[in-house]
Amino acid sequence: MTGFTFTIDGVEVAAKDGQTIMEAADAAGIYIPRLCDHEGLRHQGACRVCTVKAGGRSVAACTQPAAPDQAVENETPHVTKLRRDLVEMLFHEGNHLCPICEASGNCELQAMAYRLDMTQPTRFPYLEPCRPLDASHPDIALDTNRCITCGRCIRASEEVDGKGVFGYVGRGIHRRVAVNGADLADTNAAITDFAISKEVCPVGCIIRKGEGFAIPIGEREFDKGLIGHEIEEKKRD
C-alpha cells in the first residue's frame, strides 16, 4: 500500500491510500471532534460535527478520503464555531436535561459541548419535542428524548450483531431511530448485544437497566479529561 502526506492546520500528516481524513488524523494523534463515528463501525457522515475545511469546502472528515498535499483546516475559529453551532442545535432539538440524565459525565454530546466551550445553549428556541420512553424490555430502556439520531446503534446492530434491531424512520427533522417491532421487548435485542453496550450510544438514550449510578457523578469518563484526549496523548508520546 502506497502512502502520501497532507497537512492538518499546517502539520504534516502521513496517510495511506483510501484512508479518510479522520483515520489519518487519529493515527497522527490529531483529534477531530465526532459524534456519529465510532471505531469498528462503518463511517456515516451524519452528524457533521467532524466538519473540516478541505480545498475551501466543508467536508465530513469521517467520510472524506484524504488526498495528497491537501491543506485541511481542523481547529480554526471558523470551523470550531460551525461545530459549536451544530452541537448547540442538537441540544435544542431534543430534551437534553443533563442534571436528570444518568449518562451525564459519560455523554459524548455533553463532552463535546465542554470541548467546544459551550456554556449557554440559549441562542435558539428549545423545540422540546414530546418523545416516547420505551421501558418494555426487562434489561434495556430507551429514552428517545435524548436521541441525536447518530445511527451508531443501527450500524452496530446490523454490522456487528447481525440483527437489525434499530433503523431510521421518517424524513428531515422528523427522522427518528425506531426499533424493529412494536416496542423493544418485541425485538430480539439482548443486553449482550454490541449495539446495547455502553460505548455505542453516545448519549443517554439506550439505558442498561440497573447500572445507572454505579459510578457517581464527578468520577465518570469525561470528568477525567476532555473528549478526545486519548487520541491527542498519542501525539505527545
Partner 1 sequence: MTELRKARIATASLAGCFGCHMAILDIDERLIELMKLVEVDRSPLTDIKRFTRRCDIGIIEGGCANEENVHVLRDFRRNCDVLIAIGQCAIMGGLPAMRNAIMHSDAPLRECLEEAFLTGRYIRNTTHQVPNDPALPLLLDEVYPCSEVVEIDYNIPGCAPSGDIIYETLAGLLAGKFSGFERHRIRFD
Q: Which of 55, 170, 212, 225 binds partner 1 (CB under 8 A)?
A: 225
For residue 95, state whether it binds partner 1 (rule: CB under 8 A): yes
Q: Which of 89, 122, 170, 198 binds partner 1 (CB under 8 A)?
A: 122
CA gap 73, 66 in Å, rounded: 13
CA gap 166, 189 in Å, rounded: 9
Q: Which of 55, 226, 230, 232 binds partner 1 (CB under 8 A)?
A: 226
Closest distance between partner 1 and the C-beta of residue 106, in Å? 10
Q: 21: closest CA among 54, 62, 71, 53? A: 62
> What nine digits make up the cell of 7?
497537512
DSSP string, 87-155: HHHHHHHTT--GGG-TTTTT-HHHHHHHHTT-----SS--------EE--SSSEEEEGGG-----HHHH
Closest distance between partner 1 and the C-beta of residue 193, in Å? 25
Q: Which of 19, 74, 145, 187 binds partner 1 (CB under 8 A)?
A: 145
Q: Which of 77, 120, 192, 236 binds partner 1 (CB under 8 A)?
A: 120
For residue 60, the SS3 value is strand
Q: Which of 67, 89, 97, 182 binds partner 1 (CB under 8 A)?
A: 97
For residue 126, state whether it binds partner 1 (rule: CB under 8 A): yes
Centroid of chain to Cα 156 = 13
Site residues for partner 1 per CB under 8 A: 91, 95, 97-100, 104-105, 110, 113-115, 117-122, 126, 128-133, 145, 217-218, 223, 225-226
